[in-house]
């Protein structure tokens, strides 16, 4: 079998495409494990402030929640970027909107990460 390597350009579209594929691979088990644990094993009727406090006190759960939040929000923002591209027809406008959405994603993800970390440490809140 004859295979060829294809050179791809390093633009925001290609980077977003790669990130969506890689984060999607991680997002699926993160989301399913979250649903399985919270809804099936623990049960939503058992989740209260004490359960959340104990869970957030563990660094592993903090990392899990931050990854879940970041990857899920990234996929939502990428979907919004696709919708924006339907309405913004110039390449320059699409690029500006893509960068704006990237900045919003970074800011909201950072706020979420701070909230998860500070939620376990009331002295930081």
Structure tokens at 116: 């998860």
What are the domain boundaries of the chain? 12-119
Instruction: Examine the pLDDT at 25 and tell me if it is beyond 90.
Output: yes
pTM of the predicted model as reported, rounded to 2 decimal places: 0.80
Q: Can you say how many angstroms the Cα of residue 35 is from the centroid of all Cα atoms in its chain?
A: 16
Average confidence score pLDDT of the chain: 89
Q: Are 69 and 113 in contact (CB under 8 A)?
A: yes
Instruction: Examine the pLDDT at 125 and tell me if it is beyond 70.
Output: no
- CA distances in angstroms from 96 to 38, 80, 90, 93, 120, listed in the order given: 39, 14, 10, 5, 37
Pick 54 or 7 by higher pLDDT.
54
- CA distances in angstroms from 76 to 69, 113, 117, listed in the order given: 11, 17, 23
Structure tokens at 47: 């989740």
The CATH class of the 12-119 domain is mainly alpha
pLDDT (0 to 100) of residue 119: 77
- The model's pLDDT over 80-115, given as tens digits with 9 standing for 90+, comes to 999 999 999 999 999 999 999 999 999 999 999 999
Pick 118 or 2 by higher pLDDT.
118
What whole-number distance in Å separates Cα of residue 74 and Cα of residue 16? 10
**Neighbouring residues of 19: CB distance < 8 A, sequence distance ≥ 6:** 74
What whole-number distance in Å separates Cα of residue 43 and Cα of residue 32? 14
The least confident of 5-14, 22-31, 57-66, 69-78 is: 5-14
């Amino acid at each position: 079998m004859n295979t060829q390597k294809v050179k791809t350009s390093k633009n925001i579209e290609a980077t977003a495409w790669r990130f969506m594929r890689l984060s999607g691979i991680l997002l699926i088990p993160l989301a399913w494990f979250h649903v399985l644990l919270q809804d099936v094993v623990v049960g939503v009727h058992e989740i209260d402030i004490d359960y959340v406090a104990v869970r957030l006190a563990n660094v592993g759960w903090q990392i899990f929640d931050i990854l879940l939040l970041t990857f899920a929000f990234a996929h939502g923002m990428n979907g919004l970027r696709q919708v924006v591209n339907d309405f913004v027809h110039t390449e320059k406008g699409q690029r500006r909107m893509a960068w704006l959405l990237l900045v919003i994603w970074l800011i909201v993800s950072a706020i979420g990460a701070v909230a998860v970390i500070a939620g376990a440490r009331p002295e930081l809140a």
